[in-house]
Amino acid sequence: MTRLNAEWLAAPRPSALCAALEAAGHKALFVGGCVRNALLDVPVTDLDLSTDAHPETVTNLAEGAGFRAIPTGIEHGTVTVVAGDVPIEVTTFRRDVSTDGRRASVAFSDDVAEDAARRDFTMNALYCDMRGALEDPLNGLPDLEARRLRFIGNPADRIAEDYLRILRFFRFTAWYADPAHGIDAEGLTACAAGADGLSHVSAERITSEILKLLAAANPAPAVASMDASGVLHRVLPGADAPTLARFIHFAPTPDAIARLAALGGSREGLRLSRAEERRVETLLTAAASLAPPAALGYRFGAEDGLAALYLRAAQIETIPPENAQSDVEFGASQTFPVTANDLMPELTGPALGARLKELEARWIASGFQLTRKELLAP
């Protein structure tokens, strides 16, 4: 039997919660991302627990063990147990009664195999108890070990249960699948066929999935498959997958917002924060300008100046200038030597602002070489 060895399994509070459930005669199984990521030896950020105990029982047992229980999704069987500063989502085994492509009506179950069957991908249907003993009701471990992403059962059925799974398919492919296998053909066909169903998914959920996808180490192959299947233009009309691939080649460090700018297209169907939307527009505006690298660094800072420079190169299908990074960083380190006080009281109001802009433009054009004295000379 495969046994999982992870630090969070030995943590006292999750162990105490599992022990409380088991002592009352219930199963307590960690499931999903925490098990998957631990087996892949990648960071675990969230703990999810599955149990045959019903929500009210989970609440009573958790509170009896000294934890706080919050009914975050009680109608779907989920109680968030706050163990110290670690929230653990505890969900009763479930089976779907009906689905509408957005949410499911569920019935509680005492069978872990039924619970596994309603999940999305085989690599996400892995469970383990507090001792690390693995339970694999759908034989998903071989897929995980091979880094092969596959839907559970019929892909079209899984997608019809929740159309967001179309985007999750591409996101999980980018994060966890081995590119050497290529994308799962059956899953891709089902995603293409079900793409119209994305109109039933909220903009907030779509945005979250897109940004998670773009935060992968290299999402370009998955995005190219999205493009080929028609899914990309369903969520980002006019998006340009080849430009994204070129941008990632120049700037391989994950930056979801910069990559979104590289994709381009209409963002009307997304729900970005104001700061995210501003940054996308800033990068696109900077890339479209004719400013040299140092000027980009001065105007937009080292990070966004360099991103804009790489974005420009990706858009026009050229190579970034030699010494681009050092030039951008040099510009970002510069401080305009003239202040408003240097021009007052002779100039005030709009005239003062115009003169400062004129002097700043001269200073930038000089390669930041003109001194304060030279700029202020009559």
| Contact by Cβ (8 Å): 90, 58 | yes
Residues of the chain with pLDDT under 50: 101
CATH of 1-146, one of 3.40.605.10, 3.30.460.10, 3.20.20.80, 3.40.630.10: 3.30.460.10
Q: How far apart are CA 125 and CA 141, in angstroms?
A: 9
Q: How far apart are CA 378 and CA 368, in angstroms?
A: 19
356 contact partners, CB below 8 Å, separation of at least 6: 338, 340, 343
Beta bridge partners of 79: 90
> So what's the pLDDT on residue 304?
98
Instruction: Tell me if residue 83 falls in helix, strand or coil.
Output: strand
Q: At what angle do helices 293-316 and 256-263 cross, to 10 degrees?
A: 50
- For residue 345, say if its preceding peptide bond is cis, omega within 30 degrees of 0: yes
Q: 80-111: per-residue pLDDT in tens? A: 999 777 899 999 998 876 565 456 667 889 99
> So what's the pLDDT on residue 114?
94
Q: How far apart are CA 67 and CA 17, in angstroms?
A: 8
176 contact partners, CB below 8 Å, separation of at least 6: 36, 40, 123, 144, 147, 149
> So what's the pLDDT on residue 284?
98
Q: How large is the C-alpha radius of gyration of the chain? A: 27
List the structure tokens of 270: 């997304």
Q: Where in the chain is the domain with CATH 3.30.460.10?
A: 1-146
> So what's the pLDDT on residue 105?
66
Q: 196-240: per-residue pLDDT in tens? A: 999 999 999 999 999 999 999 999 999 999 999 999 999 999 999
> So what's the pLDDT on residue 107?
86
SS3 content of the chain, % helix, strand, coil (to 5): 55, 15, 30
Q: 259-280: per-residue pLDDT in tens? A: 999 999 999 999 999 999 999 9
List the structure tokens of 88: 């653990």
Q: How far apart are CA 28 and CA 13, in angstroms?
A: 14
Which DSSP category does 280 fall into? H
One-letter amino acid of 174:
A
> So what's the pLDDT on residue 215?
98
> So what's the pLDDT on residue 378?
82
225, 48, 224, 52: which is closest to 125 by C-alpha? 48
| Contact by Cβ (8 Å): 92, 108 | yes
Chain CA centroid to CA 36, Å: 17
> So what's the pLDDT on residue 1?
57
> So what's the pLDDT on residue 3?
83
Q: How far apart are CA 50 and CA 34, in angstroms?
A: 12
Question: Terminus-to-terminus CA distance in the chain, angstroms?
Answer: 84
Strand blocks (E) in 123-218? 127-128, 134-135
> So what's the pLDDT on residue 78?
93
Which DSSP category does 195 fall into? G
